[in-house]
Every structure is written in C-alpha cells, then in structure tokens.
Amino acid sequence: MFDAHLVQEFQSLGTPFYYYDLSVLQQTIDAVSTYGLSRGYHVHYALKANNNDRILKLMRNAGFGADCVSGEEIVKAVESGFSPGTIAFAGVGKSDEEIRTGLANDIFSFNCESLQEISVLNDMASGMNKKVRIALRINPNVKANTHKYITTGLDENKFGILAADLPELLDNLDRYAHLKVTGIHFHIGSQIEDQQSFRDLCEKVNSLQPLFEQRGITLQHINVGGGLGIDYAEPDEHSVPDFERYFGLFSQHLELRKGQELHFELGRSLIGQCGSLISRILFVKEGINTRFAIIDAGMTELIRPALYQARHRVDALTSSKPPKIYHVVGPICESSDTFRTDIPLPEVDRGDLVAIRSCGAYGQVMSSDYNLRKRAEARYSDEFMPDSHS
Ligand code: LLP
C-alpha cells in the first residue's frame, strides 16, 4: 500500500492524517458487486462507518443505498445523492425531529425497534397524512462472538423487538393504519469473524417467516444488517473481505420467498481496509522493561484500541533497521491512549513515520477534539499519483 514514492510524499506533510487508498476501496466495491449486487441483493452503505464526502460519492455511484442511524445521516445521505428510496433508518432512540426528517424524505424504511416507537411513528405519520414503510427490527438472540460493546443481537441488548413480543404485535397491526410492514430487520453485531453467527441468523430468520405468513403479512424484504469483520492483523493479505463466502452463505442458508428482496447494511467491510492513520514519532522513551514510541496520533484520531481493546497493525514506513520491541502510544493524558503493547517494529526515532492500519471504518468518524486537539485531515491516494503535480 505504501511505496517509496508515497512515503516520500508523506514526509513533507503535517501529521497525523487519514490516508484512504481508493484502489483498495474500488476492489472492495467490485467484489461486493460481483458477489452481492449481481445476485440481486441490495447493499446499504452504513454511513456511521465513514461519512466523508468522497467516500459517500463512491458508495452511491457503486449502486449502494444508505443505512442511517440519525436524522443528520439521512440529510447527509440525501445531500450526497443517495435516493431517499434507498435509505434504511435504524436506531433504538429516534427523536421526533429525526422521525420527521425520515417522513419528509419518504425513506425506504424506518427500522422500528420498540412497540412504543411504532405507536409514536404511527401518530406522527397520521399527523402528516402519510402511510409509512416500516421494517420490524427483531432481536434474534444470536451470538455474534465479537466484543461485547459491539454485540447487538442478544436478548440483553437494547436493540430490536424481542421475538417473544412479535405474535401480539402482529395480531394488533391494524391499530397502526399509517404504517405498512414491508420487511424485517436484524443486526447482530459488528466485526464478526465467525461465519456460524451469520448461519445462526439465517436459521432464525427462516424460523420467523411463518409467523408473518400465518397472518397473511407479505414481507417484501429481509434486511440482515451488517457486521462482516475485517482482518486487522493482516490487512495487506486480506485487503478485501471474503464477500464470495459471505454472500454465498446467505444465498445458501436463507430461505427467501418468491419475490422477496435481501438487503445488507455493510459498513466496516466496505471501508475499513482502505484507510490508514499516518503519524510521526515524536519521542522514543525507555521505560522500565518497556520502550515507548510516542506518536502524534492518539485516541482522538482512533479510539478503537481504548474503547474495544482493538489491535490495529502498526507499520513503520521510514525505517528498515533491525526490530526492537515497543509500546506504541499517543500523546493524550490517559493511559488508555495506547495503540499497541510489546510489538516489534524496525527501530524508529523521532521523525519516523508509522501507519496505523485498517482505520477506514470507525476511525475518522469517531474522532474528537479532546485536549483541544485539531481534527486530522483526510487525504486520498489519487492526490499522490506521480503525475498529479504536473
Ligand atoms: N446496521 C446497523 C443497524 C448497525 O448498528 C451497524 C453498526 C451496521 C449496520 C454496520 O455494521 P458493520 O458492517 O460496520 O459492522 N464503533 C464500533 C462499531 C460499531 C458498529 C455500530 N453499528 C467499532 O469501531 O468497532
């Protein structure tokens, strides 16, 4: 990903910054097209993973819809050219204003997460004299085998309607004259590497479909959410996630009814591997049995290690000396501001550059100005083409 020319260009730039390799992104989009869209599946890009304008444009041009979790994301998606008819809106706590934004835009579907939300939405739709498409977000109680902070589909999680509450809800749908149930929605978690979790989800969906059929409710679409994990340890070997296997699994195990559409909401797997956080070594400090490489990026630019104990690969870009063992840490006044502990890196010194890999998803979007730090900029690979200065 980082050839000599690129690293040379980086050296003249202020750090830290996010670097997005558009060729990796294009390969990723192409794989989704080949294995997903070509099957007739619908993919909604989860804006929450990265909402940079350039990225959104590429996702829209790829033929993806949008997956939004706030009113502002809906506004952003529409401004970025996503057709409102492709916008799914999930969220366990939608404010009245956000609901109004969704209603005003006639979005593809409100993914409703509680009985009370359904009732409020119906009242608001009635006030605007509209009939609104909704999908019921059902909590499937399926284990995602991922970090507990990003597990969303277990009974104890706040998301979705409990399967046990469904029969009564479905029996009383005629109370909601301004809503039309067009689909069901699931999202069991994020950074899922165990394919069995997706198989379990398929089986759960299969077991729920008859509940609707018995009541004469036609489900036009099944939305299985997102969650496909990426390889944080070896981002170059697996720069594009295995979409053939992922979509193939749903194709094989999900029993879609005739005419039923299958929708996905992918975030991390689309945008994660194309992004890196480029940072400079400020100081190297010998500790007790440790050696700290103190870099100019911190938890303000990438909070995942501090929040989820995530391990992002760190590559030294400007040293090829024999390796030493380092703790790679940021400058923020918290000990959780640590990217990696005890990793070998070619010996580095003040001024050397490092790349923290797999930062495209949930990196820049989760950044903050804690400690009054300036927001890091985004840079894109096409700025650095050999002839881009001529
Ligand atoms: N659909 C819904 C309803 C979601 O809540 C999410 C992510 C997605 C789709 C997209 O999931 P993905 O394909 O990206 O796994 N900040 C955390 C991840 C939070 C995910 C939130 N929901 C992290 O950095 O790991």
Q: What is the pLDDT of residues 269-312, one digit of tens each?
A: 999 999 999 999 999 999 888 999 999 999 999 999 999 999 99
The Cα 206–Cα 41 span in angstroms is 17
Calculate the alpha carbon distances from 128 to 95, 178, 375 in Å: 16, 10, 40
**Percent of the chain, pLDDT > 90?**
92
Contact 374, 368 (CB under 8 A): no
Closest by CA position to 373, among listed 335, 336, 333, 313: 333
The DSSP element (H or E) to which 342 belongs, if any, is strand 338-346
Is the per-residue pLDDT at 387 higher than 70? no
Contacting residues for 216 by C-beta, under 8 A, at least 6 apart: none
Single out the residue of 224, 205, 202 nearest to residue 213, CA to CA: 205
Grouping H, G, I as helix, E, B as strand and the rest as coil, residue 194 is coil
Q: 274 CA distance to ligand 1 centroid (A)?
A: 17
Question: Would residue 91 be called left, alpha or beta, if left means φ above 0 and alpha means ψ between -120 and 50 degrees?
Answer: left
* pLDDT given at position 390: 45
Atom of ligand 1 nearest to the CA of 266: 13
Q: Which amino acid is at 210?
A: P
For residue 322, what is the DSSP state?
A: P
Higher-confidence position of 366 and 152: 366
Separation CA 279–CA 296 (nearest Å): 6
> Residue 155 — pLDDT band, cuts 50, 70, 90?
confident
Instruction: Specify the residue with its C-alpha closest to ligand 1, atom 23.
Output: 362
- Tell me the two tokens of residue 375: 């927001």
Q: Is the CB of 41 under 6 A from ligand 1?
A: no
Q: Sign of the C-alpha dihedral, residues 58, 61, 62, 67?
A: positive
- Ligand 1 within 6 A of CB of 90: yes
Using a 6 Å cutoff on CB, does residue 304 contact ligand 1?
A: yes
Closest CA to 328 of 296, 301, 375: 296
d(CA 296, CA 184): 45
pLDDT, tens digit, 9 for 90 and up, residues 186-240: 999 999 999 999 999 999 999 999 999 999 999 999 999 999 999 999 999 999 9
Question: What average pLDDT is seen over the chain?
Answer: 96
Instruction: Please indicate whether residue 139, judged by its CB atom, sits closer than 6 Å to ligand 1.
Output: no
Nearest CA to ligand 1 atom 5: 187
Instruction: Return the pLDDT at 92.
Output: 95
Q: What angle do CA 269, 55, 336 make, to 5 degrees?
A: 60
Residue closest by Cα to atom 24 of ligand 1: 362
What average pLDDT score do residues 86-113 get? 97
As a whole number of Å, the end-to-end CA separation of the chain is 23
Distance, in Å, from the CA atom of 301 to the CA atom of 359, rounded to the nearest integer, reads: 9
Give the integer Cα–Cα distance in Å for 383 and 292: 33
> Is residue 139 a contact partner of residue 163, using CB atoms and an 8 Å limit?
yes
Q: Report how far Cα 326 is from the mean position of its chain's Cα atoms.
A: 30
**Dist CA 68 CA 65 (whole Å):** 10
The answer to which of 114-128, 131-145, 363-377 has the lowest mean pLDDT is 131-145
Q: How far apart are CA 126 and CA 104, in angstroms?
A: 13
Q: Is the pLDDT of residue 389 over 60?
A: no
- Least confident residue range of 55-64, 116-125, 153-162, 336-345: 153-162
Ligand 1 atom at shortest distance from the alpha carbon of 147: 25
pLDDT at residue number 299: 98
Residue type, 189: G
pLDDT digits (tens, 9 = 90+) for 323-333: 999 999 999 99
Q: Is the CB of 265 under 6 A from ligand 1?
A: yes
Give pLDDT tens digits for 342-384. 999 999 999 999 999 999 999 999 999 999 999 999 999 999 9
Identify the burial level of 71 via C-beta atoms within 10 angstroms of its C-beta, where 0-12 means exposed, 13-18 middle and 19 or more buried.
Answer: buried
The rounded distance, in Å, linking the Cα atoms of 94 and 70 is 7
How remote is the CA of residue 207 from the centroid of ligand 1, in Å? 25
Structure confidence at residue 164 (pLDDT):
92
Structure tokens of 179?
A: 């809503």
> What are residue 214's DSSP bridge partners?
none
Q: Is the pLDDT of residue 315 over 60?
A: yes
Residue 147: pLDDT over 90:
no
Q: Per-residue pLDDT averaged across 89-104, rounded?
A: 97
Q: Half-sphere exposure (CA, 13 Å, Cβ side) for 94?
A: 33
